[in-house]
Amino acid sequence: MSNRARVLIDCEDAKGLVYHISKVFYDRDLNIDNNREFVDQEKSRFFMRTVVTGDFDAQSLRSELVSVVPEDANVQVIEPQPKKIVLMATKESHCLGDILIRWVAGEFEADIEAVISNRDNLRDLTHRFDIPFVYISSDDKEREAHEKEVLEVLNGLEFDYIVLAKYMRILSADFVHHYPEQIINIHHSFLPAFIGANPYKQAHSRGVKIIGATAHFVTTDLDEGPIISQDVIPVNHRLEWKDMQRAGRDVEKIVLSRALSLVLNDRIFVNGNKTIVF
């Protein structure tokens, strides 16, 4: 019987790591289908992602790998299976719709558990894909009260990641603390430029020649979490900020879907406030 796994290792850098790790695979007669490694020289931190196939037990393979790497190592042996995600949105459909279409087309190895929204606009779109839609109005509610209702729904679901598909509300630190490195956001600017609200207005007022989008993990610092993916498109002086906003929707949805694919395929290591992307 042949199994397949993604082996993720990050640890303090040390001499011979690649040799010792590869020897574990060799001694177990495992085939290395893909391998990438990187050393952060400033932090002396080693990162490695390897895809292996063969006859193995994931738990015993992990134990053997732990025995040949430094004590501080994070070692994961992940046998690929669909991850569970929850999508959160408000009114704009482009990011949500793009994810749903790609999901139906089989581009994402994921199960979408629900779409949660503080507006009712996207209910019909969501139901076309036979996905539960949960509307939790934010009208006339303090942020704390609204987030409490959202958390109650999330507590009833099983999921690996929350994807903010243009969810246009700032999450509190308390909410974010519940899901460290599990919330993925799309920000409609090329961060670190134009943090916060109305980035297209900010970009227009500065006369920028490119606009972009940034997918990142959400932290308690607004729009400053580890960046997963970014892209840009050219603009010029003829465009008003609303024209920039319309043009930017394409790059937003592409960047968010690209970031989601990377996360679902275990290609991301969080390294402080940065990411290593394999």
Q: How many residues does the chain have?
A: 278
- 210-217 and 268-271 as β-strands: parallel, antiparallel, unpaired? unpaired
pLDDT(132) > 90: yes
**Amino acid 207: pLDDT:** 84
Q: Answer whether 207's CB lies under 8 Å from 237's CB.
A: yes
Cα–Cα–Cα angle for 51, 52, 57, rounded to 5 degrees: 125
Question: Is a pLDDT exceeding 70 seen at residue 61?
Answer: yes
Residue ranges per structural domain of the chain = 3-78, 83-277
Q: Could you tell me what percent of the chain has a pLDDT over 70?
A: 97
Spatial separation of the C-alpha atoms in residues 51 and 56, rounded to whole Å: 13
Question: H-helix or E-strand containing 93?
Answer: none
What pTM was estimated for this model as a whole?
Answer: 0.91
pLDDT digits (tens, 9 = 90+) for 76-100: 999 989 999 999 999 999 999 999 9
In sign, the C-alpha dihedral spanning 226, 184, 51, 25 is positive
- pLDDT above 90: percentage of residues in the chain: 80
Residues known to be catalytic: 223
pLDDT at position 199: 76
* Preceding omega of 192 cis (within 30 degrees of 0): yes
Burial of 24 by CB count in 10 Å (0-12 exposed, 13-18 middle, 19+ buried)?
middle
CATH superfamily of 3-78: ACT domain (3.30.70.260)
Alpha-carbon distance 33 to 129, whole Å?
35
Closest by CA position to 87, among listed 111, 105, 104: 111
Give the CATH class of 83-277.
Answer: alpha beta
**Residues 167-181: what's their mean pLDDT?**
95
Give the C-alpha separation, 93 to 97, whole Å: 6
Asked if 274 and 10 count as a contact pair (C-beta separation under 8 A), the reply is: no
What is the average per-residue pLDDT within 61-74?
Answer: 96
How many C-beta neighbours within 10 Å does residue 23 have? 12
Rounded to whole angstroms, the Cα distance separating 45 from 69 reads 12
Read off the pLDDT band of 191 (50, 70, 90): low
Mean pLDDT estimate for the chain = 93
pLDDT at residue 25 above 90?
yes
In tens, the pLDDT along 193-235 reads 666 667 778 777 788 888 888 999 999 988 789 999 999 888 8
Higher pLDDT, 22 or 210: 22
Mean of pLDDT values over 245-255: 88
